[in-house]
Chains A and B, each alone.
Chain A
Amino acid sequence: MTAIEATEVSKRYGTVVALDRVDLTVPEGEIFGFLGPNGAGKSTFINVLLDFATPSDGSVEIFGHDCHAEGVAARERIGVLPEGYSVFERRTGRQHIEYAIESKDADDDPAEILDRVGLDPTDAEREASDYSKGMAQRLVLGMALVGEPDLLLLDEPTTGLDPNGAAEMRDIIREENERGATVFFSSHILEQVEAVCDRVGILQDGELVAVDTIEGLRESLGGGTKLVITVDDLRNGTVETVRGVQGVETAVEREDSTLEVTCTNDAKMDILVELHDAGVDVVNFRTEEASLEDMFIEYTGSGR
């Protein structure tokens, strides 16, 4: 059974396209990392999953339940750490967990959950609106863990957490996965995703530009080269010209009239020729071996 099945999901706000025909399948048992810079559409996708937003086209299903038409059924087996939430006023941490337990009709022990996410009993009796961002994040993760969900949906889970907290978060993600839960989490930081994910999807400007395993991404990059070209004058259209060359994967404009291009080895010469034909003088160029981090930056930074 598939945990998440998105078919041609689009979301438009007026003329702005937040999601552009996203197709995505996350099988059960997987840890899936959803990568992209801020504003790429990650949150919009998760909002569609949670039925906070209705897709303009296409549909998403969680365990076979349409997220819009059967929202409650779709959310029955999931635990969610949403983004842009706030805790309830005048309720203690413990009451938050109890609310989640009642809502999910679960029989967890609040104390156990709170302990697991690292909130001690004194914190638990305090009003959650007094919590720091990191503590609130732990608390809501606790709410997500209630009822042993089959799918954990975590939107930027490490926001507000210190490195220690982020490591604990990763441990919990692994534990939950070993228990059998599918984990879907979004992040704009590659190393967090790299550390735990079986597969990652990279979202850019509302489009899913890559879905692969970390190794797969490395391999697809293996033959690739990064070319750093400094030109005399970077004009409008130059980047597009380079992108049009066969074998070019990404082309990004950097400061000081510099272009960063990832491409196949054969394409290097073609790029320089193309630039020359376009009347652009190449002042300097060097090649580097592209790393995964580079590739992520290339993918996600090209919107800048």
Chain B
Amino acid sequence: MSWDVIARQDWDLTVGERSTKALLGLLGFVIVVTAYVYPIGGSEPYTTGRFAGVVHGSLTTLVPIVGVLLGYNAVVSERESGALRLSLSLPHSRADIVFGKFLGRAGVVTAALVAALAVAGFLVVYPFGELEPLRYLAFVVFTVWFGGIWTGIGIAASIAASTKRRALVLALSVFFLFVMVWDALDDGLTLALDFAGLIDGELPGPLQFYFGLEPGRVFGRLTDGFVDPSATVEGAWYLSEWVALPLFVLWLVGPLGLAYRRFARRDLA
């Protein structure tokens, strides 16, 4: 059990990096600015719950790119340079390394998200907004979890690939698939099936479930169902926010777990 040593060292290294500051600065800036303009552009009542429904749109794009960019080099850069050999010569297991790196990086993302959302919450509430503490707390937890999922996907790429370049390509591919083209795939299929006269404007439930597996959409259902009082989650039971909870858990452990199994058995020489 020595992942804490790895996590601490990785936290120090990650925080000190300029690219980290830039990425997290951008993320925080967008969250805070959204909170600042929300009462100006939005309609009454101004509540943190409804703010969540607004900011969640940019979070589903920004958090993934920040997560994969922070995660993708976590292990593979040390593996390429040879610094990993120093860590693995000490009494650390490969699981310690992966878990420690994950905690270190996800911790940095968490700290930035919590700080930005705290400031944002304050800007929404002051002067005429309303704080819904439990709902907002749930939103912070979901957002942090979402950050963990994407940092985890980045680190999964980092331990699955053997060079930094491949890790980056792998991580960005996942990002592009889920964040950039997923909606287009969904729309395209809907349009095609609609055109063929097989469906009437809406995909059948199982297909909706399939497209709804994407982490950003899971995050969206959780926000709509548990946080934003002005939104509702529609559809079959398996499209509900309650089913989204275990899916969210799966997204955190799945990619890392699969990549770790490969990493654990592999020769690192």
Interface residues of A (CB under 8 A from B): 43-44, 47, 50-54, 71-73, 75-76, 80, 82, 84-91, 96, 99-100, 102-104, 140, 143-144
Contacts and interface: CB of A to CB of B under 8 A. Distances in A.
13 contacts: A43-B269, A44-B269, A72-B91, A72-B96, A73-B91, A84-B85, A85-B86, A86-B81, A86-B82, A87-B86, A89-B81, A99-B5, A140-B86
B268 A90 contact: no
Contacts of A54: 265, 267
Interface string B1-21: 010010011000100110000
Name which of B82, B89, B90, B93 has the most chain A CB atoms within 10 A of its CB.
B89
Interface of B, secondary structure class, is helix
Given A71-B93, A80-B89, A90 B269 contact: no
Contacts of B17: 90
Contact of A103 (B83, B85, B92, B265): B92
Nearest 7 CB-CB pairs, A to B? A80-B89, A86-B82, A103-B90, A47-B269, A86-B81, A53-B267, A85-B85
Given A103-B90, A143-B90, 14 more contacts: A50-B88, A52-B85, A52-B268, A80-B90, A87-B83, A88-B13, A88-B83, A90-B13, A90-B16, A102-B5, A102-B8, A103-B5, A103-B91, A144-B89
Interface of B: 2, 5, 8-9, 13, 16-17, 78, 81-83, 85-93, 96, 265, 267-269
Contacts of A87: 83, 86
Given A52-B268, A53-B267, A72 B92 contact: yes
B265 to A, nearest CB: 7
Contacts of A144: 89
B90 A75 contact: yes
Given A82-B85, A85-B83, A103 B268 contact: no
Nearest to A18: B269
Contacts of B81: 86, 89
A88 B265 CA distance: 24
A80 B268 CA distance: 16
Contacts of A96: 86
